[in-house]
Amino acid sequence: MAKLLAKTFVGSQTFNQDDFYFDEEHKGHIQIPELNHINWEVASAFDNERLAEAVADAASKVGRRRKNSKTHQGKEGDQEFVGTSKDDRESSCNKIWQQVQQTIDPAAAASEKSAVAPSSSSSSTPLVIVEGITIFNSPALRRLCDVKVFLELDKETCWDRRKFRSYDPPDPPGYFDKIVWPFYEKNLAEIKTLVDEKDRIHFIKAAPMTLNEIYQKVSSLIFQKV
């Protein structure tokens, strides 16, 4: 999803929380003795302070680029921003999705309307995109996010996605049932208690939706904000 959004909002910068895990020697890790393994599913497993600093720095730079772009637009009148109306937003997202379909499933893409050049289907408004399993459990990261979206999964879908992935260190037997899923539910329950409007989070049940439907919904929320 982050890659799709980065295609839509040209010039965006993406941060993946996985790149900010503390190393295995970090003394603050929570150990699971019966599995001889670290609990990697909790906020304390991540250096969220360093992530927040990186996001804030990137947001500051993006803000300056937006300001410069608007100034340029006002002087020259030649900068175009796509997505100013609901129809424009849907058209833009549909065109991006057609391009993605060509990569994922060329046969399916051929049955759709012909795709167009990326430059005519994207927005020139850059974003800072942050993805991760506990970003909303961090007050510092929540405060930095203008649009917050949590994609909810059921246990079966979560397992189907995880079982074919490789992790370093690898998951020991029983890690998913004992740690991954229980802490997913715990982290989700925690952020659902955040009722402050400034902390508003959009929860989307991803399991029954197609990737395109999720993408349309998420990108629409962002277009409304930018």
Q: pTM to 2 decimals? A: 0.77
In this prediction, residue 10 has a pLDDT band, given cuts at 50, 70 and 90, of confident
pLDDT for 52 beyond 70: yes
The ranges assigned to domains in the chain are 2-81+123-225
pLDDT at 114 exceeding the cut of 60? no
What confidence tier does 158 reach under pLDDT thresholds 50, 70, 90?
Answer: very high
Asked if 194 and 184 count as a contact pair (C-beta separation under 8 A), the reply is: no
Query: Can you tell me the distance from the alpha carbon of 175 to that of 152, in angstroms, rounded to the nearest whole number?
Result: 20
What is the model's pLDDT at position 185? 97
Looking at residue 99, its pLDDT comes to: 57
* More reliable by pLDDT, 151 or 123: 151
pLDDT value at residue 77: 39
CATH number of 2-81+123-225: 3.40.50.300
pLDDT value for 108: 46
Structure tokens at 17: 């929380």
| β 13-16/128-131 pair status | parallel
Q: What is the largest CA-CA distance in the chain?
A: 65
Is 179 within 8 Å of 39 (Cβ atoms)?
Answer: yes
Query: Is residue 125 very low, low, confident or very high in pLDDT (cuts 50, 70, 90)?
Result: confident
Residue with the bigger pLDDT between 5 and 208: it is: 5
